[in-house]
Structure 1
């Protein structure tokens, strides 16, 4: 748990300090006041990078350096992130007085982020959903980072071969086809298993958050049978060399697959309202928390940017109640809502304007 944070020359903050509770912290203020910047600082502190911009843009306008300092309650740890642009750009991390130039897995603070662009997950391109699964698997499955990286490398190499003026023979492509099939099966099975785990808890969790009886489900749609994925994918790659060469890319494998969320057996992309979409995404984020907590043995942080929009009162209350056991940071512009409903259940952090 982050008990306090000081920001120096970070975004809109010249020098500001905040104290946090171990439960729900609601950051309230008008647009442009720095709410999301504070949320972003917490993410940089946890994982070393922003979800919005590169390191140089985290510095206040005209500044040559920025710094974040925090105390971690429960482990008596201190954590500092320093970013400089002069004489050259650099970033260092100080954890309990020891300096690091990059954060490896043991030094990351587990964190789950929701921000408005995530609403595209259910309605947007399949690549968004594939990346969602693979990003979570990188954090929860040992070795998946390597599987994903190697698959992408081999896929790029095979696609380059397909684009050559002379059509490569099946024999020439066999080493790529074989290894792609092996790695593709590993990735597809990992995704299918993750979706299976999510599917066990998602329906009940959605009902709790939505305060409705709407049936929500989630399914992975592989191109080949999971139990014999390697052989089916290999056969498809070998029998479609001409077609792939005409397209200029490999058309089969986990890089072309998708998962779907359904409301009462209807695709969410076709039937879900914005409120339903937001609630479904929040349910998935809570399941991410549980996955990370199980793997890391450490309670993650939960960062929710502009989460109350399009949620009715019952869903807001249900969400706030559900995340009490996690250290949660929620941004909102609705001061009246916070005063009426959350002053006793949460730590309120008012921000009137950008702090300079």
Structure 2
């Protein structure tokens, strides 16, 4: 899978921009706050119909403008097609192959990307919410049905929490209505955790040998999808898991009313990462943390290839500054001639990449982008 063209109108600090890309490495370089990451954000937007930096779409619309447009031309092994996303203060409009999509879930995943940014180091030390977002982003691209299940779960969860807040200590509390909400929540919860659990199992199988190679056989990586309660076993069949959720919610009914919130479910699950059978969050060194995240990202690339039949596009947002020379070399060697890659960096000085001789280099300055000469190795 390749992105051949990217066109922006009133997106972030770009009033108008048209770029064409090669099939290999593209380097976007320039000082900070000039618009390099905005270009990666636009590519990410064409994949997941949302930003990786903000939850507010209007922040992507150029100041004093009413709308923004991002379009791209995507090439796959068998055909090419345009993607278009229009942002307004009233919502989003998505088009695939010139046809407007009734649901964003029909648009998401037509372009597959893997993003590797400095904040991904939070996969180790960050909150469970960060790791859940990681799982949701990857599953959303590869399994459109998952997105629908997640949206429905979040809608029902919000409805259930609102009811708990409003009526938990009131005589108007309707146990029958609350039971219906709970059953609807359980149905979606079971679907979500099975998707996530299977995804983590597959990712773990791919990441383990990669991590062993990156660590020179010193460290063993493990990962596990962790339930929000020890009373839940995600390895059982669907009917048994529903029964476990039902029993858990019945036991926690009083506590949920007292705390006025839903205490268990996928919204409180986590991804456990382990180095040599020890929790990475507690015992991993800085180097081990970087190797772990790098292993996850390389495994994501391979898993996306298995699931979708083609390699995704890789977005590296100033991430080489987080890696030493050895890990930089391993990363770039692993993806060479397989994955179209976009890399942002403040300067190309000091980059020790043999791919520089074949890379396209774009200089970004105050929303102006111009192509420079390719470097000799």
Within a 5 Å distance, the mapping from 1:153-172 to structure 2 comes to 153-163=155-165, 164=167, 165-166=169-170, 168=173
Q: Is the 8 A contact 1:115 1:307 kept in 2?
A: yes
Structure 2 residue corresponding to 1:184, chosen from 179, 182, 189: 189
Q: Which runs of 5+ in 2 are unaligned?
A: 369-377
Structure 2 residue corresponding to 1:139, chosen from 110, 124, 141: 141
Number of the residue aligned with 2:218: 213
User: What is the alpha-carbon distance in structure 1 between the residues aligned to residue 243 and residue 301 of structure 2?
Assistant: 35
Number of the residue aligned with 1:199: 204
Mean CA deviation greater in 280-289 or 56-65: 56-65
User: What is the alpha-carbon distance in structure 1 between the residues aligned to residue 149 and residue 357 of structure 2?
Assistant: 43
Q: Is the 8 A contact 1:24 1:345 kept in 2?
A: no
Give the 3-state SS of the residue equivalent to 1:262 in structure 2: strand
Structure 2 residue corresponding to 1:330, chosen from 343, 350, 353: 343
Q: Is the 8 A contact 2:206 2:302 kept in 1?
A: no
Mean CA deviation greater in 346-355 or 4-13: 4-13
Cα 1:59–1:349, aligned 2, differ >3 Å: closer, same or farther?
farther
Number of the residue aligned with 2:106: 105
Cα 1:201–1:179, aligned 2, differ >3 Å: closer, same or farther?
same
Within a 5 Å distance, the mapping from 1:1-356 to structure 2 comes to 1-7=2-8, 9-53=10-54, 54-61=56-63, 68=70, 70-73=72-75, 77=80, 79=82, 81=84, 83=86, 98=98, 100=100, 105=106, 108-141=110-143, 143-163=145-165, 164=167, 165-166=169-170, 168=173, 173-211=178-216, 213-222=218-227, 223=229, 224-226=232-234, 227=236, 228-324=240-336, 325-338=338-351, 340-344=352-356, 346-351=358-363, 353-356=365-368
Q: How much does 1:294 deviate?
A: 3.0
Q: Is the 8 A contact 1:4 1:18 kept in 2?
A: yes
Mean CA deviation greater in 65-74 or 239-248: 65-74
Cα 1:172–1:35, aligned 2, differ >3 Å: closer, same or farther?
closer
User: What is the alpha-carbon distance in structure 2 between the residues aligned to residue 91 and residue 185 of structure 1?
Assistant: 30
Q: Is the 8 A contact 1:33 1:351 kept in 2?
A: no
Q: Is the 8 A contact 1:221 1:259 kept in 2?
A: yes
User: What is the alpha-carbon distance in structure 2 between the residues aligned to residue 76 and residue 193 of structure 1?
Assistant: 30
User: What is the alpha-carbon distance in structure 2 between the residues aligned to residue 9 and residue 181 of structure 1?
Assistant: 43
The Cα RMSD (Å) is 3.3
Q: How many aligned residue pairs are there?
A: 352
Cα 1:151–1:50, aligned 2, differ >3 Å: closer, same or farther?
closer
Greater RCO between the two (CA within 8 Å, min separation 6)?
1
TM-score of the superposed pair, with normalisation by structure 1: 0.83
Q: How much does 1:246 deviate?
A: 0.8
Q: How much does 1:332 deviate?
A: 1.5
Q: How much does 1:197 deviate?
A: 1.0
